[in-house]
């Protein structure tokens, strides 16, 4: 028998919703012009496979949103684009300085539009799995429609995350003690293989995930349980990892990939030796065994590496319509939102929650710079170093301090700001 005893901690997504946007009906002719432009760009840029899937899915949704914020003449101009780069420049011109707020506003619009859930069965969870994940989705939902792509892109995000720090051996070890989390109303993950996986709950509307998704588009949590044979008093410890995402359309993949980043980093940083050794009899045993393998990770690395994968390895690479991350990060420097690196590395989760937009973007571009300039081994050493003072650990491993890092990073941002991945 497996019993869930407690959940330890949660890490929350960086994309929140602040306002609801108005919904305007789309004109059929305008829709045709958008679809024609999309197909033209796919041919012109020779997009195939996942690149074409991302481009079709995300660009159609982008225009649904743009129709509500720009006029018809400007929309027509966007539809004249012949290549993805051209479309990117035109969109950037339309959005101007608001490009940094773009994601938040667009998600608010999508959410306002999907309040209705006609045809979605909110009483049933369907399940599907991939190598590292068990997905739970509602029949008739957008997640069901996009399921194949959700599975493939989730695996890609996970593997990119693990390989950018060389955590293959660590995550394999932790996966051996992972138990797939199941919905409360189900006794177990029906139809899934017994091998433990990261559970991903894809909620079609916020109300469906009300218990866990009150203020965010996604979050992830870890837990521990005791696996007991029937009638046994003691058992061995098992980890659980669960991601909750409000899945509205393909843009929600960015939220999902970000949460996958947190899960992969946790699993790559956790030492399961004591937890798996057992025997464990109750909550006190379990708590002690769990904490024997748990070391807190600086929020800078959690957020930075997570968003690095979105900006440089998966989502953004496949859909490079917005300005390059280096340009976005540079443009922050002239605003009050900019966070000096010294502060970025010192502050904790509460600060991150208040300044998530600048925090994650800056941290991602710092990680990108460190990986290109000094390689994966140094970043891995920093990631695995005790987190008591991550600035001191940085100095020891890289041989220079955070002030010098800020100078080097700024020079690199200027050199890379015209670069589109």
Residues that bind Zn ion (CB under 5 A): 14
Cβ proximity to Zn ion, 14 vs 243, nearer residue: 14
CB of 359 to Zn ion, least distance (A): 9
Task: Using CB positions, name the residue nearest to Zn ion.
Answer: 14
State the helix-helix crossing angle for 49-69 and 147-165, rounded to 10 degrees.
110
The residue whose two tokens read 């959690």 is 302
Cβ proximity to Zn ion, 236 vs 349, nearer residue: 349
CB of 322 to Zn ion, least distance (A): 19
**How many other C-beta atoms can be found within 10 angstroms of the C-beta atom of residue 175?**
18
CB of 258 to Zn ion, least distance (A): 6
| Pairing between β-strand 133-137 and β-strand 126-129 as defined by DSSP bridges | antiparallel
Surface-to-core class of residue 179, CB atoms within 10 Å of its CB (0-12 exposed, 13-18 middle, 19+ buried): buried
Contact (Cβ atoms closer than 8 angstroms) between residue 394 and residue 304: no
CB of 125 to Zn ion, least distance (A): 25
Cβ proximity to Zn ion, 91 vs 339, nearer residue: 339
CB of 376 to Zn ion, least distance (A): 22
Cβ proximity to Zn ion, 78 vs 309, nearer residue: 309
Cβ proximity to Zn ion, 220 vs 413, nearer residue: 220
CB of 299 to Zn ion, least distance (A): 8
Beta strands in 207-305, from DSSP E residues, in sequence order: 218-227, 236-246
Cβ proximity to Zn ion, 61 vs 360, nearer residue: 360
Q: Does an H or E element contain 203, and which?
A: strand 198-203
Contact (Cβ atoms closer than 8 angstroms) between residue 232 and residue 190: no
Surface-to-core class of residue 110, CB atoms within 10 Å of its CB (0-12 exposed, 13-18 middle, 19+ buried): buried
CB of 219 to Zn ion, least distance (A): 8
Cβ proximity to Zn ion, 144 vs 362, nearer residue: 362
Contact (Cβ atoms closer than 8 angstroms) between residue 164 and residue 308: yes
Contact (Cβ atoms closer than 8 angstroms) between residue 390 and residue 363: no
Contact (Cβ atoms closer than 8 angstroms) between residue 176 and residue 236: no
CB of 298 to Zn ion, least distance (A): 13
The residue whose two tokens read 């608001």 is 98
| Pairing between β-strand 126-129 and β-strand 198-203 as defined by DSSP bridges | unpaired
Cβ proximity to Zn ion, 14 vs 161, nearer residue: 14
Q: Does an H or E element contain 201, and which?
A: strand 198-203
Cβ proximity to Zn ion, 138 vs 258, nearer residue: 258
CB of 200 to Zn ion, least distance (A): 15
Give the three-state DSSP class for 134.
strand
**How many other C-beta atoms can be found within 10 angstroms of the C-beta atom of residue 364?**
24
């Amino acid at each position: 028998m497996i019993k869930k005893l407690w959940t330890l901690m949660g890490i929350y997504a960086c994309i929140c919703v602040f306002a609801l946007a108005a919904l305007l009906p789309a004109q059929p002719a305008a829709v045709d012009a958008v679809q024609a432009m999309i197909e033209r760009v796919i041919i012109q840029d020779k997009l195939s496979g996942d690149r074409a899937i991302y481009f079709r899915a995300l660009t159609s949704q982008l225009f649904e949103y743009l129709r509500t914020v720009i006029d018809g003449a400007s929309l027509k101009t966007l539809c004249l684009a012949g290549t993805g780069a051209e479309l990117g420049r035109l969109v950037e011109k339309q959005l101007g300085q608001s490009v940094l707020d773009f994601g938040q506003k667009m998600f608010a619009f999508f959410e306002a539009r999907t309040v209705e859930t006609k045809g979605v069965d909110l009483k049933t969870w369907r399940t599907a799995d991939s190598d590292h994940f068990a997905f739970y989705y509602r029949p008739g939902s957008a997640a069901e429609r996009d399921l194949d792509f959700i599975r493939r892109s989730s695996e890609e995000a996970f593997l990119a995350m693990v390989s950018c720090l060389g955590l293959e051996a660590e995550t394999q070890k932790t996966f051996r003690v992972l138990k797939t989390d199941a919905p409360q109303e189900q006794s177990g993950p029906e139809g899934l293989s017994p091998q433990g996986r990261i559970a991903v709950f894809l909620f079609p509307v916020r109300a469906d995930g009300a218990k866990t998704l009150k203020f965010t588009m996604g979050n992830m949590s870890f837990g521990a349980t005791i696996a007991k044979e029937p009638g046994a008093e003691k058992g061995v410890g098992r980890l659980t990892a669960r991601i909750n995402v409000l899945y509205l359309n393909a843009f929600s993949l960015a939220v999902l990939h970000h949460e996958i980043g947190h899960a992969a980093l946790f699993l790559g940083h956790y030492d399961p030796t004591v937890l798996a050794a057992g025997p464990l009899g109750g909550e006190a045993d379990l708590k002690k065994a769990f904490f024997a393998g748990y070391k807190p990770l600086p929020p800078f690395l959690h957020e930075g590496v997570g968003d690095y994968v979105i900006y440089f390895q998966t989502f953004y690479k496949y859909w490079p319509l917005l300005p390059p991350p280096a340009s976005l990060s540079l443009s922050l420097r002239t605003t009050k939102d900019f966070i000096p690196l010294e502060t970025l590395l010192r502050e904790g989760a509460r600060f991150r929650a208040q300044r998530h937009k600048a925090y994650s973007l800056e941290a991602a571009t710092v990680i990108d710079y460190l990986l290109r300039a000094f390689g994966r081994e140094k970043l891995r050493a920093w990631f695995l170093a005790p987190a008591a003072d991550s600035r001191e650990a940085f100095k020891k491993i890289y041989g220079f301090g955070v002030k010098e890092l800020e100078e080097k990073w700024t020079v690199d941002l200027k050199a890379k700001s015209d670069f589109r991945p």
